[in-house]
Structure 1
Amino acid sequence: MAGPGSLTCIRCQGTMERGFIIDEGYGKRTVPRWVLGEAETSIWTGLKIRGKDKLEVTTYRCRRCGYLESYA
């Protein structure tokens, strides 16, 4: 993957800066994760994710127009 600051916005060709989006819940802040497969609901935890592949999500934001692009 390209290094920080080397991505160009697909909308306006501005410079993209690396950052992240947080998930907040129950007093805890975490980095979102991408999970392989279809979402399956769970009565106890909201979603079943045990045993599924999970990858941290990195998000880039265009300094010019604010467009967000995420990668896992």
Structure 2
Amino acid sequence: MPTSRSLTCPRCQGTMEAGYTIDVGYGTKAVPKWVAGEPQKSIWTGLKLSGKDQLDVSTYRCRRCGYLESYA
């Protein structure tokens, strides 16, 4: 994940600002997660995640052109 220093947009060279996107589910809101490997379906929970590392995803947005760049 980038440091707190000012980031430059790779497309237009504008200033990037830190933020986040949200995953909205039935009655829940959460920061998206990144999980290694291919998704495996689960009848009960939608996806099998037991024992898998999950990393929060941070997203940066260019103030000039709106480009989004995400990091886990």
Normalised-by-shorter TM-score class: over 0.9
Q: Secondary structure, in 3 states, of the residue corresponding to 2:39?
A: coil
The residue number in structure 2 matching 1:3 is 3
Letter aligned with residue 28 of structure 1: T
Q: Distance in 1 between matches of 2:5 and 2:67?
A: 14
Q: Distance in 1 between matches of 2:60 and 2:4?
A: 9
Q: Unmatched 5+ residue regions in structure 1?
A: none
Q: How far off is 1:43 after superposition?
A: 1.0
The verdict on how the C-alpha distance between 1:15 and 1:5 changes in structure 2, with shifts beyond 3 A counting, is farther
Deviates more, 1:48-57 or 1:3-12: 3-12
1:25-64 residue CA offsets vs partner (Å, 9 max, x unmatched) = 1111100000011111111111111100100000000000
* Consecutive aligned runs of 4 or more in structure 1 exceeding 2 Å deviation: 1-5
Percent of aligned pairs with the same residue?
69
Is the 1:16–1:60 contact (alpha carbons within 8 Å) kept by the matching residues of 2?
yes
1:1-41 residue CA offsets vs partner (Å, 9 max, x unmatched) = 43335111000000000000000111111000000111111
CA RMSD of aligned residues (A): 1.2
**What's the TM-score, normalizing by structure 2?**
0.93
What is the count of residue pairs matched by the alignment?
A: 72
